[in-house]
A and B are shown apart, each in its own frame.
Chain A
Amino acid sequence: MATLQEPAAPASDRSYWGNVWHAVKSTAVGMGITFRYLWTKPFTTQYPDERLPVDGRYRGIHYLEQDLCIYCQACAKACPVDCIDMGAQRHGKELEWEFFSIDYQKCMFCELCVYPCPKDCIHMGEQYSLVTEDKSDFLLELTSWQGLTEEQKLRIAEAEAAKAAKKAAAAKAKAAKEAAEAAAEPAEPEEGKE
């Protein structure tokens, strides 16, 4: 039969009044401590309004240095979850960007896309919160412009102009050469005729 055990006496050699004094004192000391903490400046930050700085190695949402990118697809090939997609048209040396998107429903921030980049133009950013009410918002566009910029157009125009000039020069040279040849030619046949 299970027997009721008398509860062991508390392992304290304090007297009755000692217990009373101890209780009052410890409560008072504790309340003093909490009162001090009540007036200290809170340690927390008001998150959406103020954000803690993130570490330099932090792997947040990517950012792309679009003007450096050469549309080599190295990052897209390196991505283990195939979340990078890009499209562009080449105009000689210039790229006409259509899109460079990362699907953050898939992305796991592994940083494997960063290493193979030959131009070091894709980086892991500092932004870490992506809050949205629509799933399609997770397909994030990283390009800051699409199509051709004025500068690019200018450069293309310059290149075309240079090409045209070169062509013209070449044509001119050819024409000159032809003219020279033509000038020299009649003698020869004549010589040949004779």
Chain B
Amino acid sequence: MSAALPPAAAAPQGNGLTELLGGLLPDGLPFWALALTGAVVSFAIIFAFIAVLAMFATWLERKVAGHIQVRYGPMRTGAWHGWAQALADGVKLLIKEDLVLTSADKPLFKLAPMVVLSTALAAFVALPFGPNAIVADLDLGIYFIIAISSITTFGVIMAGWGSNNKWSLYGAMREAAQVASYEIPLGLSLMMPVMYFGSLSLNHAGAMQSGWYGMHWYVFSDAFWIAIPSFALFFTAALAETKRAPFDLPESESELVAGFHTEYSGIRFAFFFMEEYAAMYLMSAVGTALWFGAWNFPGLSLLEGTVLHAPLAVAAFVTKSLLLVFVMMWVRWTVPRIRIDQVMALGYKYLTPLCLLMILLAASWEWVKAIAFGA
């Protein structure tokens, strides 16, 4: 297989999907056609997943918000606990008028939601949903996700500038300052599991946590005393990176109307909305893959070779990630929004030095293990 391929075409290298498609498509097709089909099918699957996920997550968020505030949340749409609320909202957003301001910078205004959503979609490529259920088993999986999601900032700044609205611009500038700062602790906090697994590949990390009948997760490993604080650091940085409360300054509705997406309506607003939930899920999935054993759960190894193995692995991964998404919502409805100087102080004075300290400890622990056990 040649390496000289664009990322999209190089994506389906050696995963189950390509093999499956290879069986379905007629023989004699050139490799690039197969790769292109794989890319399109992967894109369709990821997009469908994100759409369903965003709908479920908006419903969950409103239910969690409601019950934490001792009320019900949506109850009337759909028969059971307002389950169809997100569906109704989605249809409403699709058929709403797509407003573009006359004074907006039109190309930037129209491009921004696409940039934001496509980066979120691209990052899903490297997520390991199961042992073989990964769109592209990149050697640089974690690095790829961090790099791609850093472009999301760019889309947000585009939206803020393109809207030609002072609230949007303030939101975009806060986003730029905040996310550029928190990329450092986010990247550094991922170094602890990377050092433990000795690889940047998320698939590899998942495979390495399959021992102990599926309970050899990083948080239960010998380095648990590094894993737990490093997860706290990662999770805090991830909250800031995904603009979630208490770090939702870019869109703080009590100060900036809706921040960078004030002027968006209809489907373009829906793109921003989907991106927020996709980014939440993405960060939760990275946390799951590195700290909480990816797709492994006790008893999974017993099903090896059966039909149930892959679906159950995927279900375990999605469930664990959704639990972390729930924790993000739980934090949002607990902790009030903090000031921008506090955000900066937390990022630079606390998270970054603590991450460096944890890296030192993790490296020392690997060194001690190497000396003591000759691993």
For B341, list chain A residues within 8 Å (CB): 7
Q: How close is B51's CB to chain A, nearest CB, in angstroms?
A: 27
B-to-A contact residues, CB < 8 Å = 64, 66-72, 75, 232, 330-331, 333-335, 341, 350, 354
Q: How close is A5's CB to chain B, nearest CB, in angstroms?
A: 14
Q: How close is A22's CB to chain B, nearest CB, in angstroms?
A: 11
Which residue of A has the minimal Cβ distance to B72? Answer: A42
B350 touching A19, Cβ below 8 Å? yes
For B354, list chain A residues within 8 Å (CB): 20
A38 touching B335, Cβ below 8 Å? no
| A46 at interface, CB cutoff 8 A | yes
| A175 at interface, CB cutoff 8 A | no
Q: Interface size for chain A: under 10, 10 to 19, 20 to 34, or 35 or more residues?
A: 20 to 34
Kindly name the residue among A35, A42, A43 whose own CB sees the greatest number of chain B CB atoms within 10 A: A42
B335 touching A46, Cβ below 8 Å? no
Report how far A24 CA is from B236 CA in the complex, Å: 11
A31 touching B331, Cβ below 8 Å? yes
Report how far A41 CA is from B70 CA in the complex, Å: 7
* 3 closest cross-chain pairs (CB), A and B: A34-B334, A44-B71, A30-B334
A-to-B contact residues, CB < 8 Å = 7, 19-20, 23-24, 27, 30-31, 33-35, 37-44, 46
Dominant SS at the A interface? Answer: helix
Report how far A34 CA is from B65 CA in the complex, Å: 10
Contact of A40 with B70 at beta-carbon distance under 8 Å, contacts A19-B350, A24-B232 already known: yes
For A37, list chain B residues within 8 Å (CB): 67-70
Contact of A46 with B72 at beta-carbon distance under 8 Å, contacts A24-B232, A38-B64, A38-B67 already known: yes
Which residue of B has the minimal Cβ distance to A32? Answer: B334
For B330, list chain A residues within 8 Å (CB): 31, 34-35, 38
Report how far A171 CA is from B68 CA in the complex, Å: 86
B66 touching A20, Cβ below 8 Å? no
Q: How close is B132's CB to chain A, nearest CB, in angstroms?
A: 36
Contact of A38 with B334 at beta-carbon distance under 8 Å, contacts A19-B350, A20-B350, A46-B75 already known: no
Known: A27-B334, A37-B68. 15 other contacts (CB 8 A): A20-B350, A24-B232, A31-B330, A33-B334, A34-B330, A34-B333, A35-B330, A37-B67, A38-B330, A40-B70, A41-B70, A42-B72, A44-B71, A44-B72, A46-B75
Which residue of A has the minimal Cβ distance to B341? Answer: A7
